[in-house]
Amino acid sequence: MPSFLARYEFKYLVPPEGVAPIRDITRAYCEPDAYGQDGMYEVNSLYFDDWDWLTARMTLGGARNRFKVRIRTYGWEASDAVFLELKDRVGTTILKQRALMDRRYVKALCLGQLPDDGEPFRAARASHQPDLEAFRNRVDRLDLRPRLWVRYVREAYGSAFGDGARLTFDSALQVQLPDADDPYVPDHTQWMDAPWDGPPVMVEMKFNGAFPEWMRWIVQRFGLLRISGSKYVNGALRSGHLPWGSLERSERWTAF
């Protein structure tokens, strides 16, 4: 059976000078993410969508139940992990499935092909195979294709109490369109900035069950206003490649 992680996510935008005081409080309850130096690392996500940007339109339309489909990595070395992710929002609850994937097979998956050896796709861990199949089924059923690269810098903190709570600061949001022949290899000279309409740093509070009191106190202390911003949708809008964007559909589809 696929493994579901049910969580809640609250998002806020703050100015750069607002990060330090929130960080100081967070460190009393959390530890820096062990993955990066001082909890900081780069997040790179390749988002899938259909020919008419279905998932982007669902988000923009405020659909109560919606989803995202993406491939995520935190680096470009051969040894860096690659994850296939399904992120479903059901009301206010986030259901996430994640499968660790062998990087050698990602290109074939992005192109809708079988691996070069002709064997079926296999997750890097046997326990992740149901989540890999769920990802492929969603992609095939809705005819999804790689549509947009999104990257940003994340500073992450995880609860010291083992309750799964996390607070992250995300900044320097950038996007680019994937290459038609090799969607999983972005051109690092082609990133374009995709700033928010407002303060440039997104604070995300993620938790299971009840909203942690220390997070609630941060929101009240600094008067944070919750938003429903999507990095993918904001990036797609900024790039001008949504169906109502600046490019004609024939131009957008020459690569697919």
Which domains can be identified in the chain, with CATH numbers? Answer: 5-255 (3.20.100.30)
**Residue 49 near residue 142, CB atoms below 8 Å:** no
Query: Confidence band (pLDDT; 50, 70, 90) for 240?
Result: confident
Q: Provide mean pLDDT across the span 100-129.
A: 92
Instruction: Tell me which DSSP letter residue 121 carries.
Output: P
Q: At what angle do helices 213-222 and 19-26 cross, to 10 degrees?
A: 160
Average pLDDT score, the chain: 91
The structure tokens listed for 22 are: 């929130």
- Of the candidate ranges 117-121, 172-176, 190-194, 235-239, the one whose mean pLDDT is the lowest: 117-121
User: In the structure, what pLDDT confidence band is assigned to residue 37 with cuts at 50, 70 and 90?
Assistant: confident
Task: Read off the pTM.
Answer: 0.91
Write out the E strands in the chain: 5-14, 30-32, 40-49, 65-73, 82-90, 93-101, 145-159, 166-176, 192-193, 201-207, 226-227
214/218 Cα distance (integer angstroms): 6
